[in-house]
């Protein structure tokens, strides 16, 4: 997109054009990560309020509660920035920014549409996993540099958890890589063009199971419940960021929400068809609109507008599922968190990698059409769940219990009457 702009529309020297492209693309990605964090904070409150029947997040903050998130952002910007006396000044200041950079750099190789990517890398998936793993350095520096034993304990717990879960997560990523024969994420999306049964999640039973295993590991690597032992308030106050406040504290949460979208974006590209709607047979929307309008440039722009919207919507749905799980399941103990990874998810991911390798050689050439069966089964399950959600009435768990949802919001009169 920007290459065409600076070469055809506004011709510029190559070095100046490359610099301008890097600045524009970086600014767009930073703005997207920041705005996504604001949206996810609002969504987290709404999800928590609905699932746990909390009245506050469903009522305050103006229309749909969006003012509450804006107020929180303003509070963090003007809040006093405190540094403990025993803290290491340099490490304490450096930790949040390293954590944020680790989550932000993953977006450089993440394609939002057909060619809509800041840097189209042949090893894009390897690059994303590598840079996201650097977030753990920021967490360790934050815990160690705070000069607090609770922050140090939280940082060590989180480091052990993130490093452990990255192993089965990376192995699950190799499952669709073996099927596609590439690590270029843009190529992944192009190979899944067409109807939904072309998506790699429906390619075979091993890719189907690999998606759920990957998503579980990704949830744990993002420090989300029920794996959020680093922030267990009953044990560690707030974990590795106990001593942080103000803007530096917000960088940790922007890193967390950015990593949630990044790992969800990887799942969308590798398993869920990328930016493809799954409704247009045999063609990408950019090619379809290009032929319809008789212009490749107009087709590229119009098609990718829809592609980007579809990709973001798919990733947002997965982020919503992470929030849904957080406010539904209880927190695990630290030994249960590590046992789930090392005793169950790691062997399972190795089995899936071996299984898909054998499937590609011994079964796939002789058993065509299995993707149609898996797609049909998935449609039936989704339809059944939708029917149950639509027809199940919301009732209190105990008959005759006091239902706060029917209580009107209180009105306060602050004018003193004589």
In this predicted structure, the answer to whether residue 6 has a pLDDT above a threshold of 60 is: no
Q: How many CB atoms lie within 10 A of CB 283?
A: 15
Q: Residue 142: pLDDT above 70?
A: yes
The span from the CA of 369 to the CA of 204, in Å, is 10
State residue 268 phi and psi, 5-degree precision.
-65, -45
What average pLDDT does the segment 68-94 reach? 87
CA-closest candidate to residue 322, choices 193, 227, 198: 227
**How far are the Cα atoms of 147, 260, 348 from residue 241, in angstroms, in the given order?**
11, 18, 33
pLDDT single digits (tens) 14-72: 777 778 888 888 889 989 998 998 899 889 988 888 888 777 666 777 777 788 888 88
Query: Quick check: 122 and 179 in contact, CB under 8 A?
Result: no
First to last CA, the chain: 69
Arithmetic mean of pLDDT, 333-345: 90
What are the boundaries of each domain within the chain? 1-78, 82-384
Q: What is the mean pLDDT of residues 203-227?
A: 91
Q: Which residue shows structure tokens 């990874």?
A: 341
**Inter-CA distances, 13 with 2, 6, 24, Å:** 14, 9, 16
Amino acid 415: pLDDT = 54
Most confident of 295-299, 404-408, 410-414: 295-299
Instruction: Write down the pLDDT at residue 290.
Output: 87
Residues 6+ away with beta carbon under 8 Å from 80 = 245, 246
* More reliable by pLDDT, 11 or 61: 61
What Rg, from alpha-carbon coordinates, does the chain have?
24
pLDDT at 121 (0 to 100) = 92
> 3-state DSSP call for residue 116?
strand
- Of the pLDDT bands very low, low, confident and very high (cuts 50, 70, 90), residue 134 is very high
Vertex 52: Cα angle to 51 and 56 (nearest 5): 105
Q: What is the pLDDT of residues 246-261, one digit of tens each?
A: 889 889 989 999 999 9
d(CA 17, CA 27): 15
User: What value does the mean pLDDT of the chain take?
Assistant: 85
């Amino acid at each position: 997109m920007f290459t065409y702009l600076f070469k055809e529309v506004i011709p510029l020297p190559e070095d100046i054009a490359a610099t301008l492209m890097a600045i524009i693309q970086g600014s767009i990605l930073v703005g997207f990560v920041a705005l996504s964090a604001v949206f996810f904070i609002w969504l987290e409150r709404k999800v928590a309020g609905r699932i746990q029947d909390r009245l506050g997040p469903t009522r305050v903050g103006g229309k749909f509660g969006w003012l509450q998130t804006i107020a929180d952002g303003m509070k963090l910007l003007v809040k006093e920035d405190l540094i403990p006396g025993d803290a290491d000044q340099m490490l304490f200041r450096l930790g949040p920014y390293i954590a944020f950079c680790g989550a932000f750099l993953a977006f450089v190789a993440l394609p939002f549409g057909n060619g809509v990517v800041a840097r189209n890398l042949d090893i894009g998936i390897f690059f994303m996993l590598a840079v996201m793993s650097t977030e753990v350095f920021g967490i360790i520096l934050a815990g160690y540099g705070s000069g607090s034993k609770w922050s140090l304990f939280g940082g060590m717990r989180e480091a052990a958890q993130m490093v452990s879960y990255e192993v089965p997560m990376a192995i699950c990523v190799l499952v669709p890589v073996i099927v596609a024969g590439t690590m270029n994420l843009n190529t992944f999306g192009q190979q899944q063009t067409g109807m939904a049964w072309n998506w790699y999640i429906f390619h075979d039973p091993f890719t189907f199971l690999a998606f759920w295993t990957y998503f579980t590991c990704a949830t744990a690597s993002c420090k989300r419940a029920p794996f959020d032992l680093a922030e267990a308030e009953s044990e560690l106050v707030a974990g590795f960021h106990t001593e942080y406040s103000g803007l530096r504290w917000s960088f940790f949460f922007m890193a967390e929400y950015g990593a949630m979208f990044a790992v969800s974006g990887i799942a969308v590209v590798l398993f869920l068809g990328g930016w493809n709607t799954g409704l247009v047979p045999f063609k990408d929307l950019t090619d379809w609109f290009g032929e319809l309008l008789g212009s490749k440039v107009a087709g590229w722009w119009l098609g990718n507008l829809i592609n980007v919207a579809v990709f973001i919507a798919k990733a947002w749905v997965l982020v919503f599922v992470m929030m849904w799980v957080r406010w539904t399941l209880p927190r695990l103990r630290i030994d249960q968190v590590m046992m789930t990874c090392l005793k169950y998810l790691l062997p399972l991911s190795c089995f899936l990698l071996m299984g898909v390798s054998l499937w590609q050689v011994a079964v796939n050439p002789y058993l065509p059409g299995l993707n149609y069966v898996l797609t049909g089964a998935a449609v039936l399950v989704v339809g059944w769940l939708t029917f149950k959600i639509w027809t199940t009435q919301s009732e209190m768990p105990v008959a005759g219990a006091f239902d706060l949802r029917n209580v009107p919001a209180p009105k306060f009169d602050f004018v003193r009457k004589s």
